């Protein structure tokens, strides 16, 4: 038996004949790929799953509203939750009577 190939025997099917003659570099790469196939797709719901961005979002909203002398309250935030960005901006603008001051599109762009 080849002592250099011995660690790979338990990870291959058959006997040493299955890997005999393969260069060790190629053997290692083949086994690495078989054990860990390449990742082709990843889906994440990024709303707080990996990073807690909620506080940054609230601060950004309030910084925009400060210019208009308005407050980003929890009640308003609750109304906006789960909505698409443009729809949420429209709710904010309607609730705070800002339709003359800023459009939903401009608010979303600035945010």
DSSP 36-59: SPPP-------SSSSS--HHHHHH
Any residues with CB less than 8 A from the CB of 53 and at least 6 apart, and which?
A: 47
Higher-confidence position of 30 and 97: 97
Q: Which residues are catalytic?
A: 45, 47
Question: Which burial class, exposed, middle or buried, applies to 103 when counting CB atoms under 10 A from its CB (0-12, 13-18, 19+)?
Answer: middle
Mean per-residue pLDDT, 10-28: 65
Higher-confidence position of 77 and 111: 77
pLDDT digits (tens, 9 = 90+) for 36-68: 667 888 877 666 677 777 888 899 999 999 999
- Contact predicate 96/70, CB 8 Å: yes
């Amino acid at each position: 038996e080849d002592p250099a190939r011995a660690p790979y025997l338990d990870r291959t099917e058959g006997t040493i004949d299955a890997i005999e003659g393969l260069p060790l570099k190629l053997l290692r790469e083949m086994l690495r790929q078989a054990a860990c196939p390449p990742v082709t797709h990843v889906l994440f719901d990024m709303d707080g799953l990996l990073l807690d961005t909620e506080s940054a979002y609230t601060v950004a909203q309030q910084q925009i509203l400060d210019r208009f002398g308005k407050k980003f309250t929890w009640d308003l935030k609750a109304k906006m939750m789960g909505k698409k960005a443009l729809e949420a901006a429209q709710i904010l603008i309607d609730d705070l009577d800002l339709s003359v001051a800023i459009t939903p599109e401009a608010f979303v762009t600035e945010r």
